[in-house]
Amino acid sequence: MASRASQPRVPGAHDGSGPVATLADLRVTFSRRGRPLRAVRGVDLAIAEGEIVGLVGESGSGKTVLGLSLLGLLPPGAVVEGSAVVGAVDMVTADEGARRIARRDDLGAVFQDPMSSLNPTMRVGRQVLEVAGSEAEAARLLDACGIADATRRMRQFPHELSGGLRQRVMLAIALAGSPKLVIADEPTTALDVTVQAQVLRLFRQVRDEFGCAIVLVTHDLAVARNVADRICVMYAGRVVELGPTSGTLTSPAHPYTGALLSARIGLDADPGRQLPMLPGEPPDPAVDVPGCSFSPRCPRAEAMCLDRRPALLSTPKHAGASACHFNDEPSVEHPLPRLPWSTYATGRGGAELSGVRVAFPVRRLLRRSAGPEVLRGIDLRVAPGESVALVGESGSGKSTLLRVLAGLQAPSSGTVRVPDKRPQMVFQDAGSSLTPWLTVGELLADRIRDRPSGERDVRIAEVLVRLGLGADAAALTPRELSGGQRQRVALARAIVDPPELLLCDEPISALDASLAATVLNLLGELRRELGFAMVFVTHDLAAARLVADRIVVMTEGALVEHGAPDDIVLRPSHEYTRALLSAVPDAPVAA
């Protein structure tokens, strides 16, 4: 193993003290149905002490696999080449005992879904105590991670905490061993804007207090901008741009970085036009592209881009590096196409709630009694063909209201009127809402099982092609799809038998900017074609402004403001709405 002193300088490396982790020509290959899937294709990266590196890119670009490589947690069967050195341990070649010690002494991890990482049967304090060593240290860590009244919280179970508090518990556990490096994989994806802002501030605070380096895996460029010292952009398993955050996001050197910035969904997006989308799809991970892997999607590509792979070299556009043959040339603006937003001519469906209240029962000894109200007298009408966006913080009652409309939650009182045809729902986590052992075709066929088999096959192929998946996707299972593909399958299942009312629960929160734009544009087009009404739950006010005819703001189980999107976003009247808007991270616009 090479010593730190002998490790090569990586272009665009942080100019601080020595690295706490170094990746050298890291390559990770999986196998699916006998085909090699190249998830990481030769990454060199040095992570300095105390720096925060934002690892960004589309779904399937290799970000999470890179993070798992640093943690030594790649699944069995992965073929790994190169090195991933953390401290003095190569997490690729070391035996499991050495990797376990490195994870205990030098590494911490914060994953996207804290509920899948925390033990639901154990109190929070006990889980922190297992790594902290004493109750006093556990309480100190929880307090340092912004959890007020830590002693009381330690007695609670994970399900009794909000999403933001659970993520803070995960961060406390990650920091318990005073690690040199924390890998945070999409830690703010499922959080509302106010909690997201708190967690991002917390990352910088714990870096300053504990001195640890952080690799922040995220698809949200605005999140990376607000917390990262450096940006590392990945595409098709390779680093295509690396440099200081301000320079990389204001003067991107690689066309892919510029395209990601153009596809972002911001409050300044034009609601009268479709979102610009990055054309095409990322390359098949089973195919080894000889030239630049981005060339099929790049408007600047020339013949040499197809045959010769560009190296990651210094660029005059910022103090970093870019893997583009045109690094030394002035940037050429290639705006992504902006198409007119689809309008719907006819509308159907709709819904109405009157005086709806929901209180979940609480068990006390041998009796069950009504607990606090989650919904408090909701009056809401969705007109035929109308799109209504519900926004608010986690715990405001948005998802419960959606479940009432879907017939999955009975109201404690009040009336609910929905179309005779059962509403269809698209859930936030498409992966957990799709039966893992069924193929995509079988999942969709179940929704139209009353049709003849030949007609079913034609309709399934038609919908899959319409949503950009291709008819061949019918033979795949959910585990063989990326996150964005699974979300499109969930949408296909909802529309394969056209609904009158579509209910969407945070359908884009886990998607990168390009896929989120694709899904939002698809929803607009489908509304025009099918005329259904839609209720769209989101914590993203920019997305709400684009998809909705009307925005409804919720907090503590009540509706506090509603109106036209521009009135809510540009001229909010309620103090709570203004607070939500103030927490939205501002993404930069490329010059």
In this prediction, residues 403-424 reach a mean pLDDT of 90
49-78+88-250: CATH topology: Rossmann fold (3.40.50)
- Among 93-102, 184-193, 207-216, 284-293, where is mean pLDDT lowest? 184-193
> Are 417 and 352 in contact, with CB atoms under 8 Å apart?
yes
pLDDT at residue 367, as a whole number: 65
| DSSP per residue, 66-115 | HHHHHHT-PPTT-EEEEEEEETTEETTTS-HHHHHHHHHHTEEEE-S-HH
pTM: 0.81
pLDDT at 344 over 80: no
Split at pLDDT 50, 70, 90, the class of 47 is: very high
Which residues have a Cβ under 8 Å from the Cβ of 220 and sit 6 or more positions away?
A: 56, 188, 189, 512, 513, 585
pLDDT at residue 8, as a whole number: 36
pLDDT at residue 172, as a whole number: 87
pLDDT at residue 335, as a whole number: 56
Which residues have a Cβ under 8 Å from the Cβ of 390 and sit 6 or more positions away?
A: 398, 401, 402, 535, 536, 537, 538, 552, 554
In this prediction, residues 252-265 reach a mean pLDDT of 87
Here the tokens at position 351 are 């819904």
The more confidently predicted of residues 424 and 264 is 424
Residue type at 51?
E
Q: How far apart are CA 115 and CA 268, in angstroms?
A: 34
- Among 1-15, 213-227, 325-339, where is mean pLDDT lowest? 1-15
pLDDT at 489 over 50: yes
Q: Which long-range contacts (CB under 8 A, 24 or more apart) does 478-481 make?
A: 478/430, 478/431, 478/434, 478/435, 478/436, 478/440, 478/443, 479/436, 480/32, 481/440
Q: How far apart are CA 278 and CA 270, in angstroms?
A: 17
- Among 287-291, 481-485, 554-558, where is mean pLDDT lowest? 481-485
Return the H-helix or E-strand segment holding 139: helix 135-144
Length of the chain, in residues: 591
How far apart, in Å, do the first and last CA atoms of the chain sit? 43
What is the tens place of the pLDDT at every residue in 534-551?
999 988 888 888 888 899
CATH 3.40.50.300 domain residues, the chain: 49-78+88-250, 351-582
pLDDT at 64 over 70: yes
pLDDT at 432 over 80: no
pLDDT at 67 over 70: yes
pLDDT at 12 over 60: no
pLDDT at residue 58, as a whole number: 86
pLDDT at residue 131, as a whole number: 85
Q: How far apart are CA 428 and CA 426, in angstroms?
A: 7
CATH of the structural domain 351-582, one choice from 3.40.50.300, 3.90.1150.10, 3.40.50.620, 2.40.37.10: 3.40.50.300
Here the tokens at position 90 are 């190569």
Find the helix packing angle between 483-495 and 453-466, rounded to 10°.
130
Mean pLDDT (the chain, rounded): 84
What is the tens place of the pLDDT at every residue in 205-243?
888 888 899 999 988 888 888 889 999 999 999 999 999
Q: What percent of the chain has pLDDT over 70?
A: 90
What is the tens place of the pLDDT at every residue in 371-382?
678 899 999 999
In this prediction, residues 121-145 reach a mean pLDDT of 87
Here the tokens at position 273 are 């036009």
pLDDT at residue 331, as a whole number: 63
